[in-house]
A = this chain, B = another copy of it.
Amino acid sequence: MNKKINEINPQTLAFLAKCLADENRLRILFCVSKEKKSVSTIVEELQLSQPLISHHLKELKRSLLVNVERCGPFVYYELSDDRILSILEKLSELGDDLLKARISF
């Protein structure tokens, strides 16, 4: 059975969307979507400062979008749920289509 519209809580939804509304956080999510990665690896791959990455990882953790796991001196982050990725894909596709539709008028 599917969720009905009126069961949706705009507050919860806004909280999640806010976390997804930053380009760097999205890049981090994609970065850790295939496999867990250490902070230093993410820093290297995304070419952003370590404190900035740490700050965004903290936000992503607070929003429960990533799982954290310490292993020795390294801290590994990974996507907490694969649906995150599929939702972002759908949103991206929608964005593309909206843009296409606009241009074609």
At the interface, yes or no: A27 with Cβ under 8 Å from chain B?
Answer: yes
Give chain A's interface residue range (CB within 8 Å of chain B). Answer: 35 or more
- CA of A89 to CA of B23, assembled, Å: 22
A21 within 8 A of partner (CB): yes
In the assembled complex, the Cα of A14 lies from the Cα of B91 at a distance in Å of 10
Answer whether residue A9 sits at the interface, using C-beta atoms and an 8 A cutoff: yes
Asked if A2 meets B89 with Cβ closer than 8 Å, knowing A10-B27, A21-B14, A23-B10, the reply is yes
- A47: interface (CB < 8 Å): no
Contact A30 B16 (CB under 8 A): no
Residues of B with C-beta under 8 A to A9: 92
CA of A16 to CA of B22, assembled, Å:
10
- CB-nearest residue of chain B relative to A25? B14
